[in-house]
Amino acid sequence: MATRDQDRHRRAQMRANGPVESFAMREIGERARWLCGICRDEDRPVDPTRKRPDPLSPSIDHIRPVASGGTHPRSNVQISHWFCNLEKNTGGFSSRSAEYMRAKLARVVDGTPIPEQVWRSQFTHWGPAARVHARAAHRTRRGVR
């Protein structure tokens, strides 16, 4: 949970970034038919009756984050699962696909493992070309050609 000072700082940053609108989470959820804007999982809609820390509980997600200069009007927010929003905010979602986020949500909710192909597709820097490059760099450092 955010502290009072963190909340105060966030509200000040939102005001500094531009227009701030008041809206209810229910309004944003109904606009999107409770479909998570991050994972877009039609089999697991956001459940407005659940409360956090339930992974399927509702959360407001800023499409362009406030910390990156995003504003707080209706046009910059979407409904999301609490889990998906948390994952997005821990970094790296811009390179992650909705398919990967659905797989992560399924792992948390159902215990279903993430398919290897989906998991590997998110980490292209571990592919065969990267391994060849790493081996060559290692040989060069050791003085082997």
- Render pLDDT for 39-91 as a digit per residue (tens, 0 to 9): 999 999 999 999 999 999 999 999 998 888 888 899 999 999 999 999 988 86
> What residues pair up with 81 in beta bridges, in sequence order?
58
Over residues 93-116, the pLDDT tens digits come to: 655 789 999 999 999 999 999 998
CA distance 122 to 120: 5
Q: Which amino acid, one-letter code, is at 61?
A: D
The candidate with the shortest Cα–Cα distance to 106, out of 53, 24, 44, is: 44
Average pLDDT over residues 10-31: 89
Cα 17 off chain centre by: 21
Tell me which CATH code domain 4-94 carries.
1.10.30
- Which tokens belong to 108? 């948390």
Query: 8 pLDDT band (50/70/90 cuts)?
Result: confident
**Mean pLDDT in residue range 121-127:** 67
Confidence at residue 46, expressed as pLDDT on a 0 to 100 scale: 97
The pTM for the full model equals 0.75
Copy the structure tokens of residue 14: 């939102």
* DSSP H stretches of helix in the chain: 4-17, 25-31, 82-89, 98-110, 116-121, 128-142
Q: Is the predicted pLDDT of residue 135 greater than 80, yes or no?
A: no
Q: Which residue ranges make up each domain of the chain?
A: 4-94
pLDDT of residue 129: 55
